[in-house]
Amino acid sequence: MHSLDWLVLALSLLGVVAFGVWKTRKQRDAKSFLMGDNSLPWWTIGLSVMATQASAVTFISLPGKAFQDGMGFIQFYLGMPLAVLVVSAVIMPLFYRTKVFTAYEFLEKRFGRLPRLYTAFLFLVQRGLAAGITIYAPAIVLSTLLGWNLTLTNIFIGILVIIYTVSGGSKAVAQTQKQQMGVMMLGLFVAAALLMVGISNHMPLNEGLSMAGMTGKFNLIDLKPDFSSRYNIWSGILGGFFLSLSYFGTDQSQVGRYIGGKDIRQSRMGLLFNALFKIPMQLLVLFVGVLVFVFFQFNPQPVHYNAPQLDVLRASDEARPALLQSEADYRAVVSKKQQLQEAWEAGQLSDSEFGPAYRGQLQKEQSIRQDVRDLVVSHIPEGDPNDSDYIFLSYIMGYLPVGLVGLLLAMIFSGAMSSTAGELNALGSVTAVDFIQTFGLMPSSGKGQLLVSRLATAAWGLLAIVFATVFSLFDNLIEAVNIIGSLFYGTILGIFCVAFFMRWVGGRAVLWAGLIAEAFVLLVYFGTEPLSLAFGWDLEAPAYLWLNPIGCLLTMLLAALLQPFMPKPVATIE
Amino acid sequence: MGYGTKHRLNLGILYLLAMQDHEKPPLLPSWKAWYLLVIGVEALLIVLLYILTQRFA
């Protein structure tokens, strides 16, 4: 990497960290550390809410997903604006009225201690794992492509975040997230503009986009109701609604962002800002992936995007002949694609002739790329064959001018830091308030409480680094984060829904309902395949987004069924 | 009036709580107007995405 890129990267990252530490240097007590003195205006809250969601995974994985499967992933976000409205109108006023530090504190006021501790525990498990992935995701890809040491990259990202999160708490997280969102949006627009220019050098942009459309990249809305299809409008609106309701209404990494507002008016506006701008932002990220796809139709692209793995295969006497054959086949397909493009541009092929013929070549290309992935599996046992997370970075490293490589890497690091900071702040808050304070272990002095809150945040930061160093890759990193969330969010949301909407249900019934529902969700996700194999059943696990409504509705149903056999609830919230 | 004393919390409370907010939000006259704006933008977006999908199918 050029020294100018290093300079841009270092200035962007260290500048933001230094700003965060300086701006929030006067921390007085735990309340100021955990809630930022309730001083944040709505635009800071809105950007902070968006930055907490936008991790490095967003910028690494999402373009690769659009490159391979098209933009259908956008349907995942369609339930979010509706969920934000419910949070804004119903859940947020309850948190403000009960003056809670964390979402789970509200549950103790409603149900008693055990349901609060159980729900907070589920949150710590899923958010702790997710924090590991948000550090690991950029680290594995950057270390592979740039030759950096993976463990050191994990530690570097983690330590940077720990410095300002432990120093300045919630306010530092929100202040730095504003700057980080600026870096992210700048990087995104620069990447899109350069890709459009790059495509225009070969064919008019509208023709390039038509070609992407004919190869299925603009599969934005799928109306077919298929329970096992990961992304269609039904799973997006319904499953996404439940997932988002749980995320924004019960996940402390989001609740902590908006209850730090000056008042409920500022917090509400911050969330509505997110409801309006989140989907357009994700559309832009996916669109960049489609532009990379079109760009690579005119520019040399490797048969496998994880270059170091290709080097290993080339060096292997056993794998080399098969790899060379695949590369030769690949060159033949690329040549055929070029002929088809030229014929189409010259008007010798109509759209209806070009589309199927080009798609046929793309399928051959996919098949060859799969052969190479199989080679990776058989010859590099510890290697992950999925290379979609390397596609966008291959473009950045191979085609961007000096200086902009540093900016785009800063965009990815900013994503990693902004989301990790939000998560660590939330994990620290829940540990301090829901566990240490609840068990009477919190010191009485303000300074002591501040120290404990800082130590809890630092401990989760170190644990996230440890998680990050022991992770192995999922299919696609962005799905990994959402799958982990979906395993727990349904039950958590169900417990909160019982708290909000079923006043006749008490703590013991909801606790049992939550335990059984969580066991069922885990069984559905992990047990369907082994059970089908063991008993010869023809079962298919639902797509992971459906786990959210399943967990939520099952918790509510079981709570209603169990309540008649349990003690009546005692009203504790007035 | 506190939570749970007069109102039973059910789905209808969503509407009630939204309507009880007399505080004027920034830019628009009421929170209800903001909520309608979000729903309208979402609906428009889905229609646009559907048209794009059909256009390139």
State pLDDT tens for residues A539-567. Answer: 777 888 889 899 999 999 999 999 998 88
Give residues with Cβ within 8 angstroms of A491, minimum separation 6.
A122, A514, A517, A518, A521, A551, A552, A555
For residues A185 and A267, state if they share a domain.
yes
Burial (CB count <10 Å: 0-12, 13-18, 19+), residue A335: exposed
Enumerate residues 88 to 117 of chain A having a beta carbon within 8 A of any beta carbon in chain B.
88-90, 93-94, 97-98
Chain A residue with CA closest to B20: the answer is A89
CB distance B10–A233 less than 8 Å? no
What residues in B contact A272, CB-CB < 8 Å? 34, 38
- Chain center to CA of A397: 23
For residues A444 and A336, state if they share a domain.
no
Other Cβ atoms less than 10 A from the Cβ of A399: the count is 16
Our CA-based measurement puts residue B45 at a distance from the nearest CA of chain A, in whole angstroms, of: 9
Measured CA to CA, the distance from residue A485 to residue A299 in angstroms comes to 38
A309 has pLDDT over 80: yes
Other Cβ atoms less than 10 A from the Cβ of A92: the count is 23
A174 has pLDDT over 60: yes
Q: Which residue has the higher pLDDT, A467 or A195?
A: A195
Cα pseudo-dihedral A405, A411, A416, A417, rounded to 10: 110
Domain membership of residue A230 (yes or no) is yes
User: Per-residue pLDDT averaged across A166-187, rounded?
Assistant: 86
Domain membership of residue A187 (yes or no) is yes
User: Per-residue pLDDT averaged across A323-350, rounded?
Assistant: 88
For residues A205 and A136, state if they share a domain.
yes
- Size of the A and B interface in Cβ pairs below 8 Å: 86
Would you state the pLDDT for residue B7? 39
A154 has pLDDT over 60: yes
Domain membership of residue A188 (yes or no) is yes
Q: Confidence band (pLDDT; 50, 70, 90) for A270?
A: very high
**What tokens were used for A72?**
């259908």
B12 has pLDDT over 60: no
SS3 assignment, position A261? strand
**What tokens were used for A528?**
């369907």
Q: Which residue has the higher pLDDT, A299 or A290?
A: A290
CB distance A574–B45 less than 8 Å? no
Q: Confidence band (pLDDT; 50, 70, 90) for B1?
A: very low
Q: Which of A383, A408, A443 is the last residue of a domain?
A: A383
For residues A406 and A287, state if they share a domain.
yes
For residues A248 and A103, state if they share a domain.
yes
- In the block, residue with structure tokens 């530690």: A155
Would you state the pLDDT for residue A550? 93
* Parent domain of A264: 3-17+28-297+397-473
Per residue in A182-241, pLDDT (tens digit) is: 888 999 999 999 999 999 888 888 888 888 888 888 988 888 887 777 778 888 898 889
Pair A420, A134: CB distance under 8 Å: yes
**Global pTM value:** 0.83
State the total domains in chain A: 2
- In the block, residue with structure tokens 């900013």: A414
What residues in B contact A94, CB-CB < 8 Å? 3
What residues in A contact B38, CB-CB < 8 Å? 81, 84-85, 272, 275-276
Would you state the pLDDT for residue A115? 92
Q: Which residue has the higher pLDDT, A144 or A314?
A: A314
Domain membership of residue A273 (yes or no) is yes
Q: Which one-letter DSSP state was computed for residue A318?
A: T
Q: Which of A473, A489, A512 is the last residue of a domain?
A: A473
A448 has pLDDT over 60: yes
A473 has pLDDT over 60: no
- In the block, residue with structure tokens 């410095």: A163
Measured CA to CA, the distance from residue B42 to residue A272 in angstroms comes to 12
Enumerate residues 496 to 525 of chain A having a beta carbon within 8 A of any beta carbon in chain B.
500-501, 503
B41 has pLDDT over 90: yes
Best A276, A277, A351, A498 residue to mutate vs chain B (most B CBs within 10 Å): A276
- What are the respective helix, strand and coil percentages of chain B, to the nearest 5? 60, 0, 40
Q: Which residue has the higher pLDDT, A98 or A472?
A: A98
Q: Confidence band (pLDDT; 50, 70, 90) for A12?
A: confident
For residues A182 and A109, state if they share a domain.
yes
For residues A287 and A312, state if they share a domain.
no
For residues A66 and A182, state if they share a domain.
yes
For residues A416 and A453, state if they share a domain.
yes
Would you state the pLDDT for residue A444? 83
A530 has pLDDT over 70: yes
**Structure ipTM:** 0.79
Our CA-based measurement puts residue B27 at a distance from the nearest CA of chain A, in whole angstroms, of: 10
For residues A158 and A190, state if they share a domain.
yes
For chain A, what is the mean pLDDT?
A: 86
Best A74, A206, A207, A268 residue to mutate vs chain B (most B CBs within 10 Å): A268
**Interface membership of A182 toward B (CB under 8 Å):** no
Would you state the pLDDT for residue A257? 87
For residues A175 and A264, state if they share a domain.
yes
User: Per-residue pLDDT averaged across A348-367, rounded?
Assistant: 86
For residues A142 and A276, state if they share a domain.
yes
Would you state the pLDDT for residue A21? 83
User: Per-residue pLDDT averaged across A317-325, rounded?
Assistant: 89
Domain membership of residue A545 (yes or no) is no
Pair A52, A254: CB distance under 8 Å: yes
What CATH code is carried by the domain that includes residue A253?
Answer: 1.20.1730.10
A440: left (phi over 0), alpha (psi -120 to 50) or beta: left
- Chain center to CA of A225: 25
Q: Which of A421, A440, A473 is the last residue of a domain?
A: A473
Domain membership of residue A82 (yes or no) is yes
- Give chain A's radius of gyration (CA, Å): 25
How many residues can be counted in chain A? 574
Would you state the pLDDT for residue B22? 62
Would you state the pLDDT for residue B4? 40
B10 has pLDDT over 50: no
Domain membership of residue A324 (yes or no) is yes
Domain membership of residue A534 (yes or no) is no
Q: Which of A265, A501, A571 sits opposite B23 (nearest CB)?
A: A265
Measured CA to CA, the distance from residue A273 to residue A40 in angstroms comes to 14
Give residues with Cβ within 8 angstroms of A489, minimum separation 6.
A126, A242, A243, A246, A247, A250, A251, A548, A551
Other Cβ atoms less than 10 A from the Cβ of A223: the count is 9
A542: phi then psi, degrees, rounded to nearest 5: -70, 155
User: Per-residue pLDDT averaged across A255-282, rounded?
Assistant: 90
**Interface membership of B10 toward A (CB under 8 Å):** yes
Lowest mean pLDDT among A87-91, A457-461, A494-498: A87-91
Give residues with Cβ within 8 angstroms of A546, minimum separation 6.
A227, A235, A239
Measured CA to CA, the distance from residue A402 to residue A4 in angstroms comes to 7
Give residues with Cβ within 8 angstroms of A308, minimum separation 6.
A144, A145, A147
